């Protein structure tokens, strides 16, 4: 494919004018639309401006290459405009821009066009080529200049050069968020700068078409310096122990010569790989704390999700196959085939919290954090009941530690020591930073001991510290919170059923499987034992609303969610109908300030309506599989529908349309 295959003559203006950067982009989008390759002009324009917010595409030397890759593009395309007088484009060098290329890339798996677009970006760095384009007098002349240069241009599959008697051997990695233009322009600039300074270089490019010219382990070993010019995370652990410069991709374009000269000087810090290998820090400053925490959290959530969905659906199948009438207290395992599915589902579901905590810790501290996080998450799920022994009199004893002291002195009774979802979140972050502290403490040990750090020192001390904190601090304190909630609900139940329904419904939706949710659920099961069946009905409906409401929102308000979230919508319908509130966790974790209030309000309304309609539930379970024992089920379905729709509209109101 050639560059002129993407450049429609209707989308070229060699006598353009623009009063500002915004005006220039608006006119470029209009030119692009003339080619018929844009399905949704406004959406495409939003994506172009969103890319500019990440960093100016005015690369200097009077050139700008704005671009966007999204579903609003039907076919790959280019638009071009020459602004004879120049326009302020916030370019990297502060100079006006007189030559603008706009790139449109469809959001498809086929990425052949990306190589072409990347090649154009590199060609633009040839001053003679760009000057001839700026001075073109007609569209035909403009196209001929490009076609002639394309004939002589090299591809973008590999950047590098081997120089005889090189001053320095350099390896580099370049990547930008879109992976279309800046990735290859930085690679080209670094290659030219290295050759000009008599250095050998190899550049790994990580564009939308994937990683190319990937650096090998033997090359890393032989290199004098590594330059990482990236605006996205790239694998960094491989560079441990090497001198490394980390900068933005724009610096790889505009400051390539400075970077190469710095590499030659040797005045470069050694990359220790301590802490997070996903580049929290760079030569340009540190990543924001909020973004860093969010990134670690989403690492845990993304790894946890398959266990939630897989285990939850298998448990739901068990309920569907089982016979509730045989033994309501053992529902899900009354017949062999149901027990088979539920056993497998529970095994997968039981890994949810350890995986969440483990991969949060992994994101923070790399592999050494994984074991410490897993242990913390497992203890959050199991609680302090695991610490048991038999005394000299043959009596079974359980250590309750701080929890026992607080419960006996404050509440007069022992409480639940399971910290659940919230405990696992805390455990993941604490585990990660425990390991990072240990790495720092042991960094002064002799190099000969490096082999025992990840296999002995980090896991033994990390797990010991993590387990101690879970037993003595996190589990006990959240156990106190659970007990206090149960006491509060008992007091409320005697005064107002509707208010209790509001509270129970909201509790089920606030932490979605965590201690608050579990406190409401336990309260509902206790009520069944006492012959009160309306409380469990409110609890169940409160747990069903969040995933169903979110699923409805992903269906009817698609532009409020990213592609991954929309793909999860169908599974949330299933999980909601199966009383698996945890299906909403990834959405809540990604945007808690908006999702949790929306789900809590919808669940609270559903819980209140369930109480108002005197709906009842005699089974200590939930979902469509126990609807046979729901009292006043038509009104119960109405309450569920109302609560779910409220959540849907609240999400549509609170969440703004997003730019993927």
Q: Compute the half-sphere exposure of residue 13: CA atoms within 13 Å on the CB side of its CA.
A: 19
**In angstroms, rounded to a whole number, what is the distance separating the alpha carbons of residues 273 and 276?**
7
Which residues, 6 or more positions from 590, have their beta carbon under 8 angstroms from its beta carbon? Answer: 298, 301, 565
Among 33, 67, 615, 621, the one annotated catalytic: 67
Q: Are 50 and 90 in contact (CB under 8 A)?
A: no
Judging by DSSP bridges, how do beta strands 97-106 and 67-70 pair with one another?
A: parallel
**In angstroms, rounded to a whole number, what is the distance separating the alpha carbons of residues 519 and 446?**
50
Q: How many CB atoms lie within 10 A of CB 435?
A: 31
Using the structure block, give the residue that is written with the tokens 């969610």: 561
C-alpha separations of 6 from 65, 102, 103, 104, 117 in Å: 15, 11, 9, 9, 9
Q: How many CB atoms lie within 10 A of CB 451?
A: 9
Q: Are 199 and 237 in contact (CB under 8 A)?
A: no
User: What is the sign of the dihedral through the CA atoms of 398, 400, 405 and 411?
Assistant: negative
What values do phi and psi take at 201, rounded to 5?
-150, 150
The residues with which 203 forms a beta bridge, in sequence order, are 159, 172
Which residues, 6 or more positions from 418, have their beta carbon under 8 angstroms from its beta carbon? Answer: 380, 381, 382, 383, 385, 475, 478, 479, 482, 515, 518
**In angstroms, rounded to a whole number, what is the distance separating the alpha carbons of residues 370 and 362?**
5
**In angstroms, rounded to a whole number, what is the distance separating the alpha carbons of residues 159 and 302?**
34
Among 33, 70, 168, 176, the one annotated catalytic: 176
**In angstroms, rounded to a whole number, what is the distance separating the alpha carbons of residues 392 and 290?**
52
Q: Are 160 and 188 in contact (CB under 8 A)?
A: no
Note if 176 is an active site residue.
yes
DSSP code per residue over 457-470: IHHHHHHHHHHHHI
Note if 615 is an active site residue.
no
Judging by DSSP bridges, how do beta strands 200-207 and 159-161 pair with one another?
A: antiparallel
Q: What is the 3-state secondary structure (H, E, C) of 534-561?
A: HHHHHHHHHHHHHHHHHHHHHHHCHHHC
**In angstroms, rounded to a whole number, what is the distance separating the alpha carbons of residues 488 and 495?**
11
H/E stretch holding 112: helix 112-123
Query: Comparing C-alpha atoms, which of 642, 621, 155, 2 is closest to residue 342?
Result: 621
Angle of helix 289-321 relative to helix 569-577, nearest 10 degrees, comes to 50
H/E stretch holding 83: strand 77-87
Q: Are 82 and 98 in contact (CB under 8 A)?
A: yes
Residues tagged active-site = 67, 176
């Amino acid at each position: 494919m050639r560059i002129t295959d993407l450049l429609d003559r209707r989308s070229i203006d060699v006598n353009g004018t623009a009063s500002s950067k915004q005006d220039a982009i608006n006119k470029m989008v209009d030119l692009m639309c003339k080619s018929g390759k844009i399905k949704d002009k406004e959406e495409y324009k939003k994506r172009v401006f969103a890319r500019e917010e990440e960093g100016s595409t005015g690369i200097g030397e009077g050139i700008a290459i704005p671009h966007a890759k999204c579903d609003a593009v039907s076919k790959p395309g280019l638009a071009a405009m020459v602004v004879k007088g120049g326009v302020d484009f916030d370019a990297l060098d502060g100079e006006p821009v007189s030559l603008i290329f706009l790139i449109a890339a469809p959001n498809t798996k086929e990425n052949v066009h990306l190589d072409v677009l990347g090649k154009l970006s590199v060609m633009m760095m040839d001053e003679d080529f760009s000057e001839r384009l700026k001075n073109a007098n007609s569209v035909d002349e403009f196209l001929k200049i490009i076609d002639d240069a394309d004939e002589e241009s090299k591809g973008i599959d590999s950047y590098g050069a081997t120089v005889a008697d090189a001053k320095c051997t350099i390896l580099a990695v370049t990547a930008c968020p879109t992976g279309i233009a800046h990735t290859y322009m930085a690679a080209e600039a670094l290659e030219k700068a290295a050759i000009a300074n008599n250095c050998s270089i190899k550049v790994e490019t990580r564009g939308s078409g994937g990683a190319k010219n990937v650096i090998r382990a033997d090359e890393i070993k032989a290199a004098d310096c590594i330059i990482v010019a990236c605006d996205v995370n790239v694998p960094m652990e491989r560079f441990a122990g090497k001198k490394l410069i980390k900068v933005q991709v724009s610096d790889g374009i505009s400051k390539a010569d400075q970077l190469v000269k710095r590499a030659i000087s040797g005045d470069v810090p050694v990359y220790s790989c301590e802490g997070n290998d996903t580049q929290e820090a760079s030569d340009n400053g540190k990543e924001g704390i909020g973004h860093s925490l969010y990134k670690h959290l989403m690492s845990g959530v993304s790894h946890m999700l398959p266990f939630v969905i897989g285990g939850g659906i298998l448990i739901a199948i068990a309920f569907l196959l089982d016979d509730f009438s045989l033994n309501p207290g053992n529902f899900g395992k009354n017949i062999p085939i149901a027990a088979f599915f539920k056993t497998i589902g529970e095994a997968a579901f039981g890994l949810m919290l350890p995986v969440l905590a483990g991969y949060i810790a992994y994101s923070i501290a790399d592999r050494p954090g994984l074991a410490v996080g897993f242990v913390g998450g497992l203890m959050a799920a199991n609680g302090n009941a695991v610490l048991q022994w038999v005394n000299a009199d043959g009596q079974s004893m359980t250590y309750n530690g701080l929890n026992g002291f607080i419960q006996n002195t404050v509440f007069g009774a022992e409480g639940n020591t399971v910290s659940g979802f919230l405990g696992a979140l805390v455990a993941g972050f604490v585990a990660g930073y425990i390991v990072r502290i240990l790495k720092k403490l042991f960094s002064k040990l002799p190099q000969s001991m490096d082999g025992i750090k990840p296999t002995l020192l980090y896991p033994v001390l990390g797990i010991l510290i993590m387990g101690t904190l879970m037993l003595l601090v996190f589990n006990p304190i959240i156990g106190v919170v659970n007990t206090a909630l149960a006491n509060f609900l008992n007091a409320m139940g005697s005064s107002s059923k509707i208010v209790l329904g509001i509270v129970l419904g909201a509790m089920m939706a606030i932490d979605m499987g965590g201690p608050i949710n579990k406190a409401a659920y336990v309260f509902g099961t206790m009520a069944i034992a006492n012959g009160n069946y309306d409380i469990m009905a409110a609890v169940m409906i409160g747990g069903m609303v969040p995933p169903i409401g979110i699923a409805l929102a992903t269906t009817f308000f698609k532009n409020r969610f990213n592609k991954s979230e929309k793909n999860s919508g169908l599974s949330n319908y299933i999980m909601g109908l199966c009383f698996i509130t945890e299906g909403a966790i990834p959405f809540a974790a990604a945007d808690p300030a908006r999702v949790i209030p929306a789900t809590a309000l919808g669940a609270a309304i559903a819980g209140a309506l369930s109480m108002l309609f005197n709906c009842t539930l005699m089974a200590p379970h939930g979902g469509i599989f126990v609807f046979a024992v729901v009292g006043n089920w038509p009104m119960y379905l109405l309450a569920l529908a109302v609560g779910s729709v409220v959540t849907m509209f609240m999400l549509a109101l609170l969440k703004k349309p997003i730019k993927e």
